[in-house]
Amino acid sequence: MSDLLIQLRGVTKRYGSGVAELMALKGIDLDIHAGEFVAIMGPSGSGKSTAMNILGCLDTPTGGEYLFKGAHVEALSRDQRARLRRRYLGFVFQGFNLLARTSAQENVELPLLYRGDSASVRRAAAARALQAVGLGGWEHHTPAELSGGQQQRVAIARAIVTQPAVVLADEPTGNLDTQRSHEIMSLLMGLNKDHGITVLMVTHEPDMAAYAHRMVHFKDGSIAYDETNPQPITAAPEEKV
């Protein structure tokens, strides 16, 4: 087994207090090893999105421990969590979250701009990331000039431009048709297999989760079950004509 990358131990998350109190997470234990591809599933309100926000350092647990590479994330300051995000984590969202009047190249460069890299370093890294997602030559197109699938590829290029250890994908195929969805899943699968990037993906769709090595199912703030996928999909189905 590869190195243990992420550990959640007894993680809880409480919102509100008194009669308005909501326990979104009720003592989560979860191990993620480097190089895994994990699908996080469950109905609305199950706690999966809360868990992903904590894993992505976008929120903090009320109780319990979150260890990333052995470091206690729950004990970090806001600035320290931000540095961890910039160095180790990449994010892909259902809605793409691209700047509308900005080129693909400039959208992909944004994480490097926030990190303070020089213009030449940003341009070279963004070009490599766009090439990796099959969009070499599309650097100067704006989102309005790209299809939904191409926009999500730009979003994935933005997620990997910093060479993160982990990509967290929140419903990455939710706004795409079936064929484009399989193309995006094949891309994520390739990043995981060929580049060793750990992928954590929230999805409602069993046919997209079938690409993952593991499926972690949430229910009512707890992990209902955590199962290994014995035969993950290794190639997208061919488009019918």
52 inside domain: yes
233 inside domain: no
199 inside domain: yes
238 inside domain: no
Please give the model's pTM, rounded to 2 decimal places: 0.91
What CATH number is attached to the domain comprising 155? 3.40.50.300
Distance CA 159, CA 133 (A): 11
Reported as a single tens digit per residue, the pLDDT across 136-195 is 999 999 999 999 999 999 999 999 999 999 999 999 998 899 999 999 999 999 999 999
Q: How many domains are contained in the chain? A: 1
Band (pLDDT 50/70/90 cuts) for residue 35 is very high
Strand partners, 32: 6
Reported as a single tens digit per residue, the pLDDT across 95-120 is 888 999 999 999 999 999 988 899 99
Strand partners, 219: 222
237 inside domain: no
Q: Domain span at residue 107?
A: 4-228
Distance CA 25, CA 192 (A): 28
235 inside domain: no
236 inside domain: no
103 inside domain: yes
Reported as a single tens digit per residue, the pLDDT across 36-93 is 999 999 999 999 999 999 999 999 999 999 999 999 999 999 999 999 998 999 999 8
Q: Which of 150, 201, 159 is nearest to 177 (CA)?
A: 150
Residue 93 is predicted with a pLDDT of 87
